[in-house]
């Protein structure tokens, strides 16, 4: 009986950890220094961590366009 309770409790904890690990993230706020006078970047590498090559390329191209626009 005690082993069954321990297994049930561990199962619930493992399930909760698994579900929380799958939660998505979101950007809540961002900060930048408007007075920054440092060097301008000459080359920036953009990498999209997406399994699908077509989506990854589209994402990377969109980010590059945003950098060029600014």
pLDDT in tens, 26-68: 777 888 888 888 888 788 888 888 888 999 899 989 988 988 8
Asked whether the predicted pLDDT for residue 22 surpasses 80, the reply is no
Q: Does 49 or 22 have the greater pLDDT score?
A: 49
CA distance 16 to 10: 10
What is the pTM (predicted TM-score) of this model? 0.42
Asked whether the predicted pLDDT for residue 25 surpasses 80, the reply is no
End-to-end CA distance of the chain: 65
Position 54 scores a pLDDT of 93
* Residue matched to tokens 């309770």: 5
* Residue matched to tokens 């191209």: 61
């Amino acid at each position: 009986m005690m082993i069954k309770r321990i297994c049930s409790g561990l199962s619930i904890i493992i399930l909760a950890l698994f579900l929380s690990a799958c939660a998505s993230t979101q950007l809540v706020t961002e900060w930048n220094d408007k007075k920054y006078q440092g060097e301008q970047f000459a080359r920036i590498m953009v990498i999209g961590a997406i399994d699908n090559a077509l989506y990854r390329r589209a994402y990377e191209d969109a980010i590059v366009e945003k950098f060029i626009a600014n």
